[in-house]
Structure 1
Amino acid sequence: MTPVVRTCRLSLLAISIASACFAHAEDVSSIERIEVNKQRQAYRGEFSYLQSPEAVTEFNSELIAQAGITGLTQVLDMSASVSRQNSLGGLWDSFAIRGFFGDENVPSGYLVNGFNAGRGFSGPRDVSGIESIEVLKGPKAALFGRGEPGGSINIITKKPTFASSTQLSVTAGSRQHQRLEADINTTFSNDTAARLIGFYQTEDSFRETIETQKHGISAAFQFDQSANSTWTYDLEYAEQEIPFDRGIIAPNGNFDFLPIERFLGEPSDGPTTTSVHGHQLQWLYEINETWQLSSAVAFRQTELDSLSSDADVSPKRQKFYFDGQTLTRQHRQRAYDTEQYVVRFELAGDFQTTGLKHSLLAGIDYDRFDFDRDYRVARAPNLSTQPSDAQLYAINIFNPVYGQYTAGEMTPAIIRQQNQWATGVYIQDQIAVTDALQVRIGGRFDDLKQTIDDKVRKLKVDQAESHFSPQFGVLYQLSDAWSLYSSYAEGYRLNFGTDYQGGTFAPNQSESLEVGSKLSLADNRLEVTLSYFDSEQTNIIVADLNNPGYHAAIGEASSRGLELDIAGQLPADITLKFSYAYLDAQVEKDAVDTGLYVSIKKGDDLLNIPENSASLQLTQAYQIAGRDASAGLGFQYVDERLGQRGSDFYLPSYVTFNLFAQYEINNNWSVSAKVHNLFDKTHFTNSYTQMWVQPGEPRKVLLSTSYQF
C-alpha cells in the first residue's frame, strides 16, 4: 500500500472517529463517571518510589507542554544522563544513556507502553499523544530483552478518560513555525471511551533552504468489559518530510569557519520522507486483589525514503583538505522498510511463604523484526586521478551554487533483508525479608534467531543464540523517607551484519552495577535520587584490522559516573526538575573506527559524551485577577565532548536558557509563550566528524493559544 493511499484511509478513519465522538457527546453527557485509569506498565511491577532498587526519571505531559517541546530528543535533553548522538542528518532520534548507545547506523531503541517501538525508521518522535516519558536507568535487558547497559526509554501514551472533552491548540513562532493540535475525548457508554489526538506542523529552519513538515494521528480506545477486565487499543500514524542535513564543517576545531546557517547539501534532493503506522492491543485481567494477568499484541511498520548529498570524509577523495574551499560530496539513496510483531503474556502478584512477602513478575514474549534495506551511493574518484570539480560533485563552501553539477551513477552498497526472532521467558521476585530489607532476584532466558540475505555479496547467513541474563538487587529502607539500594544486571542483544568471511558477529553483551540513595521529602512532594553506576560493554562492532573494508565484534567500552535527580514541589507553588550527571565513558580496547578508519586507543573518550551535564526546570504557579497563571525558567549545561573518534576534535561546552509562561483567560481559553535559547547562544549539539557538525537552534519564540470545551 502506498503512503498516499494509507494516508487517505487513515484520514477517513480519523474523520469517522471524530464524527462518532461528537455524535455521541450529547448521548453520554449524563454519564457522571470521571476516571483516569493509570495504565499498568509491563515488565515493571508495582513498587513505590522508595521500594524500587533503580533510578527512574519521568517527564509528564504538563512539564513537556510548559516547556513548549514537540520532539522526543528535546525532552530527553532535560535528563543529564542522556546525550545526543548521530541522528543521520536529523532523520531520527539518536541518544546515549549513561554513555552507551547502540548501532549508530539505526535509530536508538525505545519502548512505547512496554513494547519495543524505536527500532524502525519513523523519523523523530513527536510528543503529541504522549502522557509521560520515562528514563529507566541501568540495564533492562534482564527483563525487557534487547537493550543497552545505560538504560531504556519508555513512552506512555495518553488514554481515554470517562469524561467528554475537546481541546484545540494553535502555535505560531519564529521561522514560520505553525502547529495545530487537537485532542478529542469522548465516552460511548458507561464502559467504553475513546480518545483521538492529531497534529500538523510546518516550519522553516535557521539552516538555508531547509523546511520541515509533519502530521500524525494517535487514537486510543478503552473497553471495561467488567470490573476485573479491561481492553485497550492504540493506533499510531505519522508522516514527516525532513531534509537530510549533515550540518557544517569545523576544520581543526574552528567553529567560526562557516556561518551556522550554511547548507552544504543539495536542495534538489528533496526531503526525506518517513512514515509509521502501528497498532497495540492489550488486555488486563484482575484475577483478585493481588494478582493480575496481562496480555498484548502489537504490529508496527515504518518506511524511509531518502536522497542526500553530503561531505565525503575520505582523505583520498576530499578536495577541501587540500584547497580549503572545495567540498567533495557523495550522493546517496536510502530505501528502508521495517515490520515488527510483538506478543506478550505476563502474570504479576503478591504472595507470602515462610513469613516472607513476595512480589512476583513472570512472563513470556515473542518479537519478530524484519528489516529490508536498500542503500546506494555515488562517490567521487580518488584525487590521485586529478578529477574535475564536476566529477567530485563539489560545492564551494564560501559561495555555494546549488545544482551546478550532477552526481554520478549510484551503485548498490547494501541491499539486504534481515530478520530477527526472539522468544523470551522472564521472572522477577522482590522479597520483603523484613519491613526494611528487600531483595530482588530475577532474569531472562532468550532464544534468538537471525537470518541475513545479502544480495550484493550474494550471501545468506543464519544465526541462532540462547542466553540467560540475570539481575539482582538489594534495598534497605532506613526510614519512611529514606532508602538505600544496590543492583546488578546483565544485557544481551544480537549484532546486525556479517564479517569478512560471511559469518555472523558475536552478540553484544553488557553488565552494570549501581548503588544509590532515595529521599522522599516535604510530605512526599519532593524526590531526590543519588546514584553511582559502573558499566561495561563488549562485542561492539568495529573495523576489522586484518581485513580492510569489513567489521568485527571486538570493541569494548566502559562508563561509570554519578547522577543526581531532584523532582517535585517546593514552597510557594514552585515545581522543580533538576538533573546532573558526571560521566567517565571511555574505550577499553584498541580498535579502528568503522566509518573513518582511524585508530581508537584504550582510554579514549566515547563520541558525543560530556563529562558533566545538567538541566533545570523551575515553574511557579500563581494567580492574576483570580485566574491561574504560571511562569518558569529552564537551562541546560553540556560539557565539551569528543566530536570525532581518533582525534583531539572536541565540541565546545554550552549553556542555553529558556523562558515560558501561561495564563488562563477564562474556563475555556488559555494563552502561553515560550522562548528557547533566550540569549541566542551559538552551540553545537553533536557531530560524527569535523565535516559533519550539527549546530543547535538559535533563539526561537513561540506563542500558543488553547481552547477547551
Structure 2
Amino acid sequence: MHKKVFSILSVSFILIPNIMLSSEIKTNNVSLSDVTIVSNSDENKQSYYKTEANSVTRTDTPLLETAQSVQIVTDDILDDMGMVSLDDTLDYVSGISRQNDFGGVWDNFSIRGFSGHENTGISMLKNGFADNRGYNAPRDAANIESIEVLKGPSGALYGNTEPGGTINIVTKQPKFTNENSITTMAGSDDFYRLSADLTGPLSESFAYRLNVAAENKKSFRDYIESERYVVAPSFLWLINDNTHLTYMGEYIRQEAPFDRGIVAFDGDLNGVDHKTFFGNPKDDNMVLENFTHQLMLEHDFSNNWSTKIGLAYKTGDFKGTGAEVKPFVNVTTDSLMLRSRYKDFESDDISLQADVKNVSTIKGLKNTLLFGIETYRYELDFALYNLNNTVRMDNIRGNPTYTTLATGKGNIIRDENQVQRGMAFFAQDELALSDSWRLLVGLRYDKIDTQLEEYKKGITYSQNDYALSPRIGLTYLINPNWSWYATSGKSFRPNSGLDKNGNTFEAEEGISLETGLKFESDNKDLGASLALYRIDKENVLTGSDPSGVYSIAAGEVRSQGIEFDISGKLNSHIKINANYTYTDTEVTKDTGGAVDWSTGKVVNLEGKALSNVPKHSGALLLMWEDDLSNNSSYGIGSNVIYVGKREGNYINSFKLPDYTTVGLLSYWQVNKSLKLKFNVNNIFDKEYIASSYDRSWAVPGSPRRFTLSMNYKF
C-alpha cells in the first residue's frame, strides 16, 4: 500500500513545475525570513564551514559552545567535489575509515575504529531518525544538504550507537523562492547521470521540493554495471505563525552485480589484476530498494517553550543471487571454485519521536532544557540460500574464464524473522554557568526487546536489553574565537545470537573520555578543532569458539587517538578542508579467541588491532576562486587523500598497504544560470585496496577517472 501512495505522491510532484509555469504564485502576505542577495560570482564562494549542527544537542547551540567534536560536510564541498554518494565524501572527515562495502552494495564505515554491526555497519541517522536498521541501498547525494559527523558517544540522545560516533544526513528543505536546476554528468567507464532539484511555493503557506536522479555506470572492473534511481519529494506547510509541518519522502533503487572484490593469490594482493571479477557474469543484478517517509510537526507555545513530534517509516528490500569466493580461502592455483548465494531480505521500520524544549533564564543564566521520548518497531525477514561449486574460474591471473556447473537457489541455510521493539526516555540540560562556562548533562534510558524465530533450527528466543546512557560536557569560552571542552559519555549496542549454552549476550557497552580545542574566525568563515580521546568497549563478540559455530562475548576493545580538522575560507580566494587522524586500536581482552578459518586454529586476539583502521590518515582539499569578466567566475583546486597501512582482517594475518591519491577539480560559472565542472580523481592512477574483509574479499580502489558536469538554473 505504501508503494502505491508514494507513487501517486511522486507523480504529483513531477507535475509541479508545469503548474508553476502556468500560474502566478502570490506571496505578498507571507512573512518570510530575511534573504541575502549575492552576485553571480559570489554565490560560488560560500564557506566550507558551518557554525551549527542541530543534531549534536537537538537544539541550536553553536558548535564553538558544544562539548563534542563535530565535523560537517557542507553542500559546498559536495558541489565542488561533484559527490553523488557517501564513500568518497567521508574521506574528508577525520577518524572515518572505509569498511568492506561488498562492491558498493551498501555504505559501510567505522568512526574512531568502531564499525558497528558486521554487515549493516554503524548507526546512521537521517534528519535525526535512525536510517540503517537492516540492509539499505547506498545513500545518494541528490537530496543531501549536508552530512553531520558527531564524534564520540551520542547514546544520551540517540540510544543504540557506537562509541566512535554517529553520522546524521540532513536533507534539502523546501523554500518559498523558486529555485530550479538540472544537472547532467558524464565520465569515465560510461558514467552518466541526470538529476533535478526543483523548489518553490505553491501557495502563501505551502512550499515543495523535488529531487530526482537517474544514474547508469560501468566500472573499471569486468562485468560490473549498475543503475540507480532516486525520487525524493518534500513539502513545508506553514499552518500558522507558530506551527509548521514538514514531510520528506525518498525512494532509492539500485541494481548492481554482487561483487566481493579480488583475492590475494598465495597471500599476494598484487598477484591478481584489480579488474578481475570473482563472480558469475551470468548472474542477474542484486536489487536494493528503499522507501522512506518522515513527517515532523513543530510548534512554538511561546518564546520559551516549543515541541517537535516526528514519525518515520522505512521499508527495505534486498534480493538477488551472487556468486563469490568462499571467505578465508588461501588461493594458490589458477583455478577456483565459487559458491552462489541467493538473498531475500525484507525490512519494515517505524519510529516515533517527541520532545519538548524550554529556554529560560535562571538568576541571569541561560538554561536550555530538552526532554522527550522515542519508540520504534523494526522487523526483518531474512532468507539465505547456498549452493556450493556453482562456477569454476580458470586462469584467474590472466584472462579468466567462467564455467557454470550448477544453477538454482540451493539449500536454505538461514531462515529467520526478527522483531525488535524499543522505547526510550531522554533528558538534557545546557546551562550557561557564566559568560565563559557552559555545562551539558544528558541521560537516556533505553529498553529494547528482541524476538528471533529461526525457522531452520526450529527455535525461538527473546532478548531484553536495558541501558542508561549518560553524558557530561564542560566548555570554556577562552575568547570569542577559541574554546576548550572536555566530555565523557557512554554507549551501548545490543548483541544478537546465542552462545553454546543457548544464552543471549550482554549488550556491548562503551565509555569515552575526550578533550579538545575549537577555533572560529571573527567572520565565522573558518573553523578548526583538535580532539584527543580514549574509548573502551566491553562485551564485544570477538569471534567463534573452537567449534566455529557459537560466538563468544569475551572481548574488550580500546581506541585512542588525535584528530585535527580545519575547514572554511582562508581569504577571499582560498577555501580549505583538511584533516589528520592518528588512531590506535587494540583488543585489550580476549578470553575466547577467534578461529583462523584458513588453518582451523584458534587465535587469541588480545593485542591485535581492529581491521581496516589505519594509524595515520589525512585529506586535503584546496580551492582557489576568482572573478572573470562579464560577471562570471572560476575555481580550480586539488585534493589529496592519504590512508596508512591497515590490518586486512580481524586476526591480523595480513596488512593492506598505505596509499595516496591526488585529484584535480575545477569549475566555470559562465553566468548566473550555467555552471560547468571538470574533475579528475586519482590523477596518477594509483592502484590500491580500499578495504577488505579477508584475503579472499578485498575491494580495489578506483583508478584514474574524470567527470564532466553541467548545472543549469532556471
Q: Could you state the TM-score of these two structures normalised by the residue count of structure 2?
A: 0.93
| Cα distance in structure 2, aligned partners of 1:493 and 1:647 | 24
Q: Structure 2: which amino acid aligns with 1:575?
A: K
Specify the alignment match of 1:340 in structure 2: 349
Specify the alignment match of 1:163 in structure 2: 177
Specify the alignment match of 2:684 in structure 1: 679
1:19 pairs, out of 15, 22, 25, with: 15
Specify the alignment match of 2:304 in structure 1: 290
- Give secondary structure in 1 for the equivalent of 2:503: coil
- Give secondary structure in 2 for the equivalent of 1:328: strand
Change (3 A) 1:417 1:579: same
Aligned runs of 1:587-626 on 2, under 5 Å?
A: 587-590=587-590, 591-593=592-594, 596=597, 599-625=603-629, 626=631
Q: Deviations over 1:124-168 (max 9, x none)?
A: 111110000011100101210110000000000001110112211
- Asked if 1:467 corresponds to 2:467, the answer is yes
Specify the alignment match of 2:46 in structure 1: none
- Give secondary structure in 2 for the equivalent of 1:588: strand
Contact 1:265 1:310 in 2 (8 A): yes
Q: Structure 1: which amino acid aligns with 2:259?
A: D
Aligned runs of 1:602-681 on 2, under 5 Å?
A: 602-625=606-629, 626-681=631-686
Contact 2:545 2:595 in 1 (8 A): no
Q: Could you state the TM-score of these two structures normalised by the residue count of structure 1?
A: 0.93
Change (3 A) 1:394 1:471: same
Q: Deviations over 1:403-446 (max 9, x none)?
A: 44225862222111111111100011122222111221111011
Specify the alignment match of 2:209 in structure 1: 195
- Give secondary structure in 2 for the equivalent of 1:279: strand
| Cα distance in structure 2, aligned partners of 1:678 and 1:74 | 15
Q: Deviations over 1:370-392 (max 9, x none)?
A: 11111121235xxxxxxxxx7x8
- Give secondary structure in 1 for the equivalent of 2:273: coil
Change (3 A) 1:35 1:438: closer
Q: Which moved more, 1:602-611 or 1:500-509?
A: 500-509
Q: Structure 1: which amino acid aligns with 2:339?
A: Q
Q: Structure 2: which amino acid aligns with 1:517?
A: L
1:377 pairs, out of 368, 381, 386, with: 386
Change (3 A) 1:658 1:531: same
| 1:122 CA drift (Å) | 2.4
- Give secondary structure in 2 for the equivalent of 1:69: coil
| 1:589 CA drift (Å) | 1.8
Specify the alignment match of 2:554 in structure 1: 554
| Cα distance in structure 2, aligned partners of 1:273 and 1:631 | 38
| Cα distance in structure 2, aligned partners of 1:223 and 1:376 | 47
Specify the alignment match of 1:385 in structure 2: none
- Asked if 1:137 corresponds to 2:151, the answer is yes
| Cα distance in structure 1, aligned partners of 2:460 and 2:142 | 41
| Cα distance in structure 2, aligned partners of 1:559 and 1:582 | 10
Aligned runs of 1:11-410 on 2, under 5 Å?
A: 11-31=7-27, 35=33, 41=55, 43-251=57-265, 253-313=267-327, 320-321=331-332, 324-379=333-388, 393-398=392-397, 399-406=399-406, 410=410
| 1:245 CA drift (Å) | 0.8
CA RMSD after TM alignment: 2.2
| Cα distance in structure 1, aligned partners of 2:34 and 2:210 | 16
- Asked if 1:492 corresponds to 2:492, the answer is yes
- Asked if 1:531 corresponds to 2:531, the answer is yes
| Cα distance in structure 2, aligned partners of 1:168 and 1:267 | 35
| 1:546 CA drift (Å) | 5.6
Q: Which runs of 4+ in 1 moved over 6 A?
A: 36-39
Contact 1:162 1:187 in 2 (8 A): yes
Contact 2:544 2:594 in 1 (8 A): no
| Cα distance in structure 2, aligned partners of 1:242 and 1:136 | 31
| Cα distance in structure 2, aligned partners of 1:601 and 1:467 | 27
Q: Structure 2: which amino acid aligns with 1:275?
A: E
Q: Structure 2: which amino acid aligns with 1:207?
A: R
| 1:44 CA drift (Å) | 2.2
Specify the alignment match of 2:427 in structure 1: 427
| 1:26 CA drift (Å) | 4.7
- Give secondary structure in 1 for the equivalent of 2:11: helix
| 1:496 CA drift (Å) | 2.2
| Cα distance in structure 2, aligned partners of 1:340 and 1:459 | 24
Q: Structure 1: which amino acid aligns with 2:136?
A: S
Q: Structure 1: which amino acid aligns with 2:688?
A: H
Q: Deviations over 1:682-708 (max 9, x none)?
A: 111000111111110111111111111
Count of residues in correspondence between the two structures: 690
| 1:258 CA drift (Å) | 1.2
Contact 1:42 1:346 in 2 (8 A): no
| Cα distance in structure 2, aligned partners of 1:472 and 1:515 | 12
Contact 2:155 2:470 in 1 (8 A): no
- Give secondary structure in 2 for the equivalent of 1:92: coil
The percentage of aligned residue pairs carrying the same residue is 30
| 1:93 CA drift (Å) | 0.4
- Give secondary structure in 2 for the equivalent of 1:497: coil
- Give secondary structure in 1 for the equivalent of 2:27: coil
Contact 1:35 1:162 in 2 (8 A): no
Change (3 A) 1:329 1:256: same
Change (3 A) 1:400 1:301: same
Gaps of at least 5 residues in structure 2 are: 36-51
| Cα distance in structure 1, aligned partners of 2:278 and 2:363 | 70
Contact 1:284 1:293 in 2 (8 A): yes
